[in-house]
Chains A and B, each alone.
Chain A
Amino acid sequence: MDRSTAERQKVYAWGRIEPREHAVVPASFADEMVAAVRATDKRPLLCRGLGRSYGDVALNGGGYLLDTTRADHFLSADWATGVVRAEAGLSLDALLRVCVPRGWFLPVSPGTKFVTLGGAVANDVHGKNQESAGTIGCHVRRIGLARSTGEMLELSPDAPLFAATIGGLGLTGVMVWVELQLVPIRSATMEVETLAMRGLEDFFRLSAESADWNYTVSWVDSLARGAALGRGLFIRGRHAAAGPLTPHGHPRLTVPHAARHILNRGTIALFNFLYRTRPWATGRAVMHYDRFFYPLDSLSHWNRLYGRGGFFQHQSVVPMKHAPETLRSLLALTGEHGEPSFLAVLKVMGDRRSPGLLSFPMAGVTLALDLANRGESTRRLLDRMTDLVAAAGGRIYPAKDATMSGEAFRAGYPAWRRLEQHRDPAIMSDFWRRVAA
């Protein structure tokens, strides 16, 4: 299919800050993806999958968006070795439904399974096992990339374009397929232990003591102040050694379009209190991977909970040396914001390097939190947080970002120039225009 089938549409990113007008071109098969990037047109193109990026990495206002979600075919799958090659539009949701019953799992899972393989690689996503497994880019064996020159490239890890494409924000060409090495599992269930954290010291101590657990993450009560700052729950898990290989079900609840701003100071305070103090909050449990990895997926369109204004997400990583005081400052700063963050997540990151040029993780601690959009004051807060992160030698995650300055981005990702050199001239995004122009 060529670009003549484009349909003018207003498209939101996941944060729902403001829609931007695009010409959306659907692709159902690989040949349509290849044709779309070869078409000659002055306006740039960008691939878009399931739209879970919060800011503008998957927006291309005034240009073309290539909707890849129907191009979701497996090209090959070797269930003896766990190597799958599939078109970039295949969702992790669909992949799990096929691979889990056969005893295979994603090597790296982001916080939602509603992302495409292409989107996961373009943002080089990480998960709760980042310390041991690195990012998804560490498990990619080959990439099929179509360029506007008409080339169809098969990239192996030694190719410079391979490193540029992993975490390359979709800018190096149209990713047509990805070959991924899955990891074996013996059960679809997880052994999970949840421990109370009284403050940041507990977070650092428990992180250090959890080497036996593949997956760790912490939820932090953003309302805590002073000595209680960093109070929350430390959650660690590993795949159970035995059990059924039953894949996940379908989401049952949907937030309607007309949702008002349900998440406010009162509801968040109540939720945080109940979440932390419910009697069954801590202890050991066996639960399905769906509940462990993707708790928010059970509520479709949860991003509408922030109402019409939408919301921002701040996710940063700072090197371990400066992590304690930077985290304290960041959490204290968000406390000054009129509305607290519903989801504040902390995690220690390891030093396993991704092949990606612009991969986000570095050894240190990452903090992720949502902030309802209250206009200028929220943007100023995010700027101050970005400054703190930059001063500590850290950086902001492009997949989550809608506000960081070009200087902050270029300081955090010195390899950005090399990505710009590898960028396909027919491809552009609002994010790249904002930070690299």
Chain B
Amino acid sequence: MSDSRLVVVLGATSAIAQAYARRRAGTAARFALVGRREERLHAIAADLLARGAATAEPVVTELAALDGIEGAVERIRARFGPPQEIVVAYGVLGEQASLERDLAGARATLDVNFTSAVLWLLAFLKQHEAGQPLTAVVIGSVAGDRGRRSNFIYGAAKGGLDVFVQGLAHAYAGTPVRFVMVKPGFVDTPMTAAFVKGGPLWSSPDRVAADMERAVRRGARVVYAPWFWRPIMAVIRYLPWFVFRRLKI
């Protein structure tokens, strides 16, 4: 079993991360489950083991503690060895209207969704041996495709992350290090608990996870999950300003 892939899941308690890890558990992967709440990480570890994971262990850490990231990566590598896959799955949505007046909250939103994610990726890449294969799966959002009044602070963080991962993919082109940017639309998870759900645009975490798994298998660079967000976001990106400015989206 020691030759099975090590998957480091950052934000392992997120609904999409859980659904993705469950799918990967069937391939006897090893999991390092990184998150804040130890009891829940243990529950996820037990769940993945029952579903076929070779090993699954919690790593309790504050994901958005920017100063601790490099040390945490060193500890993870010392304990589990070099990862073959990193999944960046954590994030906070925040409420746009209040964040615009709450600067500390806005900063936290950017730190969690953008700055810390960038640092985790840089820290893993810094310690990665050249020539060894690695896949980084990063969960962004359709909100990062164009700034919209309803969620542009969260959107700016996810859009920044998109550009960052794009640059990494460019920098590592021709090496066995690959990057997959996942852009989910509306997903029925605890993160979106405040929304009225239902209707054709909402999808389940497992649907998104299935698209992620396929993208990783096929080596896609960017995947919209589900697929229909790609044409929707293409329209939203290219709407001329005189139309876009009137939209309440």
Contacts and interface: CB of A to CB of B under 8 A. Distances in A.
Contact of B193 (A5, A73, A76, A87): A5
Shortest 4 CB-CB contacts between residues of A and residues of B: A74-B50, A77-B50, A73-B47, A74-B47
A375 to B, nearest CB: 28
B50 A7 contact: no
B11 to A, nearest CB: 14
A73 B190 contact: no
B39 A31 contact: yes
A400 B40 CA distance: 35
B190 A26 contact: yes
B50 A31 contact: no
14 contacts: A5-B193, A28-B15, A28-B190, A29-B40, A31-B40, A73-B44, A73-B47, A74-B49, A74-B51, A76-B46, A76-B50, A77-B50, A98-B50, A98-B51
A106 to B, nearest CB: 16
B125 interface: no
Interface in B32-51: 39-40, 43-44, 46-47, 49-51
Given A5-B193, A28-B15, A28-B190, A73 B46 contact: yes
Interface residues of A, number: 18
B43 A73 contact: yes
Contacts of B43: 29-30, 73, 75, 87
Contacts of B193: 5, 7, 26
How many B residues touch the partner, as a band? 10 to 19
Interface string B1-37: 0000000000001010000000000000000000000
Interface of B: 13, 15, 39-40, 43-44, 46-47, 49-51, 190, 193
Interface in A50-91: 70, 73-77, 84, 86-87
A226 to B, nearest CB: 48
A103 B50 CA distance: 14
Given A5-B193, A29-B43, A98-B50, 8 more contacts: A31-B39, A73-B43, A73-B44, A74-B49, A74-B50, A74-B51, A75-B50, A84-B50
A123 to B, nearest CB: 25
B51 A70 contact: no
Contacts of A5: 193
Nearest to A30: B43
A28 B43 CA distance: 11
Interface string A14-52: 000000000000101111000000000000000000000
